[in-house]
């Protein structure tokens, strides 16, 4: 079996595990030993569920982006870098899925669509070249970090479990952006950054409910 075919089989497996909810974390959840006290009110539980659903969709997209970029990477070292970051994003995916279950909230019904769209964007970034692809990682992680910071401000203060998950995710995203910058990522042009923000706004607004 050729290495290229192996890579596409792995990509298909990643897609299936991501959209089916079968992703497994390697690191324990930051919320594993935390209990919300007092218990969340129905209104607070609904808000936390909606915000965590958006965060889970972000991780679905991250899986697709990194997988597509790794498939198109020219430099084996960059491919390894992307795979390592993707594993940490898999942790995030599993953590947010578990938190959604604990909150009695559903995953986005549009996850296959989010995955397909993000995979297409990742493929385009990879075709632009490795340094531009890394620049895409930098901008994506910075926007995700800002989005997570906003969620920390909006989550109910006594939802310590959700807040612990989001805080660890935010720290990881900052490291991913820093690592991509050190690896030679190029800053993206302003119109591209704005288009990414517009696409993210559509996704987050929709995923809040669906």
Residue ranges per domain, the chain? Answer: 45-207
CA distances from 68 to 10, 53, 157, 166 (A): 11, 23, 37, 25
Q: Can you give the pLDDT at residue 196?
A: 83
What is the value of pTM for the model shown? 0.89
Q: Can you give the pLDDT at residue 106?
A: 93
Q: Can you give the pLDDT at residue 6?
A: 65
Considering only the top CATH level, what class is 45-207? mainly alpha
82: its two tokens:
């992307």
Per run of 10 residues, the mean pLDDT along the chain (length 210 residues) is: 63 70 84 78 92 93 86 79 80 93 92 89 84 86 90 92 94 88 84 86 88
Q: Can you give the pLDDT at residue 7?
A: 65
CA distances from 8 to 12, 92, 120, 151, 163 (A): 6, 23, 15, 35, 36
Query: What are phi and psi for residue 122, nearest 5 degrees?
Result: -65, -40
Determine the Cα–Cα distance for residues 197 and 210; give it in Å rounded to an integer.
20
């Amino acid at each position: 079996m050729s290495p290229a075919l192996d890579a596409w089989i792995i990509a298909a497996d990643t897609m299936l595990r991501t959209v089916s909810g079968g992703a497994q974390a390697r690191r324990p959840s930051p919320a594993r030993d935390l209990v919300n006290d007092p218990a969340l009110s129905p209104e607070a539980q609904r808000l936390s569920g909606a915000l965590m659903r958006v965060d889970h969709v972000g991780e679905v997209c991250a899986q697709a982006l990194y997988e597509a970029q790794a498939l198109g990477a020219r430099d084996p070292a960059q491919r390894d870098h992307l795979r390592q970051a993707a594993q940490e994003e898999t942790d995030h995916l599993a953590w947010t899925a578990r938190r959604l279950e604990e909150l009695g909230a559903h995953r986005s019904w549009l996850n296959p669509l989010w995955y397909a769209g993000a995979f297409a964007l990742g493929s385009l970034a990879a075709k632009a070249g490795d340094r531009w692809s890394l620049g895409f990682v930098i901008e994506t992680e910075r926007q995700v970090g800002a989005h997570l910071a906003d969620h920390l401000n909006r989550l109910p203060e006594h939802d310590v479990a959700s807040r612990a998950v989001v805080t660890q995710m935010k720290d990881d995203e900052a490291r991913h952006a820093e690592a991509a910058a050190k690896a030679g990522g190029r800053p993206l042009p302003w119109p591209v950054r704005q288009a990414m923000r517009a696409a993210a706004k559509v996704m987050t607004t929709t995923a809040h409910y669906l």
